[in-house]
């Protein structure tokens, strides 16, 4: 399975990636990774240019030209990398009308953890990814959202006041970081950052972290990894020049 993980990780970054980043992103020891990379290059599943590894010609022979990668396929290795690096439940969400839908998720390997199934639809206003996506709506779209969607309370911490939520969304527009603390599920905090391509928010990466593990150090490290995932996805979507 590690070879498949490596291939998916590199394919998601067509501009190339160095071995140290693969090792960190997939939590593979460098000693093991060196052998796997050499084998994949020898079999032409990967190509090497200097220190960077890129998709190799053998992958092109296997690929069907009629089938384009779905958004879920593109983000899946990045979601897995987030889960491996933070060991908390990582997901990628898209907006479906005024609801939030999970299209890829990787559950933490810890006894105390948050779990969500692919296809689950949730309210936008009380999940970190949902707030990140709401913050990227135009003023007219946001007005329509508030006019059509009641802000339901799920926990004592749920934000159900329109003015309060608008103020928080304005802050998210400035920082880019959506946050929740026990607003949908008791005992769970969330961090999310939207992916914006050509001015449109196509979805959001998010991690869900139990309150006992949600320290300032974990929050800072999680934000850094989320920002890295967003940057890597955006770079992969840029047209070749």
Reported as a pLDDT band with limits 50, 70 and 90, residue 11 is confident
Pairing verdict, β 188-197 and 46-49 = unpaired
pLDDT value of residue 238: 64
Alpha carbon distance 12, 39 (integer Å): 19
- Average predicted confidence (pLDDT) for the chain: 91
pLDDT value of residue 237: 74
Q: Which tokens hold the place of 167?
A: 């103020």
Query: Between these two residues, 98 and 9, which has the higher pLDDT value?
Result: 98
Query: Between these two residues, 100 and 56, which has the higher pLDDT value?
Result: 100
Reported as a pLDDT band with limits 50, 70 and 90, residue 241 is very low
Check: CB of residue 79 under 8 Å from CB of residue 105. yes
pTM for the predicted model, two decimal places: 0.78
pLDDT at 138 over 50: yes
Alpha carbon distance 238, 198 (integer Å): 9
Question: Please, which residues have CB within 8 angstroms of residue 57's CB and are 6 or more apart in sequence?
Answer: 44, 47
The DSSP symbol for 69 reads P
**CA contacts within 13 A on the Cβ side of 120:** 14
pLDDT digits (tens, 9 = 90+) for 173-212: 999 999 999 999 999 999 999 999 988 999 999 999 999 9
pLDDT value of residue 212: 96
What is the radius of gyration, based on Cα positions, of the chain?
A: 19
SS (H, E, C) 148-200: HCCCCCCCCCCCCCHHHHHHHHHHHHHHCCEEEECCCCCCEEEEEEEEEECCE
Name the 3-class secondary structure at 74. helix
Write down all domains in the chain, each with its CATH number in brackets.
Answer: 2-62 (1.10.10.10), 71-237 (3.30.450.40)
Mean pLDDT score, 141-168: 97
Helices (DSSP H) in the chain: which residue ranges? 2-11, 19-26, 30-42, 57-62, 71-86, 128-134, 139-148, 162-175, 216-237
pLDDT at 31 over 60: yes
Pairing verdict, β 89-96 and 52-55 = unpaired
pLDDT digits (tens, 9 = 90+) for 34-75: 888 988 998 888 999 988 999 888 887 766 555 567 899 889
DSSP H or E run through 92: strand 89-96
Mean pLDDT score, 105-134: 95
Task: Give the other-Cβ count within 10 Å of 107's Cβ.
Answer: 16
Q: Which tokens hold the place of 123?
A: 């309210």
Name the 3-class secondary structure at 100. strand
Percent of the chain residues past pLDDT 90, beyond the cut: 66
């Amino acid at each position: 399975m590690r070879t498949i993980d490596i291939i998916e990780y590199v394919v998601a970054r067509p501009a190339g990636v160095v071995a140290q980043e693969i090792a960190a992103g997939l939590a593979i020891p460098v000693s093991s990774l060196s052998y796997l990379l050499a084998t994949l290059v020898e079999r032409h599943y990967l190509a090497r240019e200097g220190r960077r590894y890129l998709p190799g010609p053998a992958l092109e022979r296997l690929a069907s030209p009629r089938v384009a990668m779905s958004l879920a396929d593109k983000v899946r290795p990045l979601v897995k990398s987030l889960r491996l690096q933070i060991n908390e439940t990582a997901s990628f969400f898209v907006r479906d009308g005024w609801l939030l839908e999970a299209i890829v998720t990787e559950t933490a390997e810890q006894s105390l953890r948050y779990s969500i199934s692919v296809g689950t639809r949730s309210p936008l206003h009380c999940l970190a990814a949902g707030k990140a996506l709401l913050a990227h709506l135009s003023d007219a779209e946001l007005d329509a959202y508030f006019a059509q969607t009641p802000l339901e309370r799920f926990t004592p911490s749920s934000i159900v006041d329109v003015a309060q939520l608008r103020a928080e969304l304005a802050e998210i527009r400035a920082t880019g970081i959506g946050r929740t603390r026990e607003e949908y599920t008791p005992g769970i905090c969330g961090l999310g950052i939207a992916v914006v391509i050509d001015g449109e928010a196509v979805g959001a990466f998010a991690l869900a972290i139990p309150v006992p593990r949600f320290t300032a150090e974990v929050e800072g490290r999680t934000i850094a990894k989320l920002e890295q995932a967003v940057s890597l996805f955006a770079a992969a979507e840029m047209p070749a020049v």
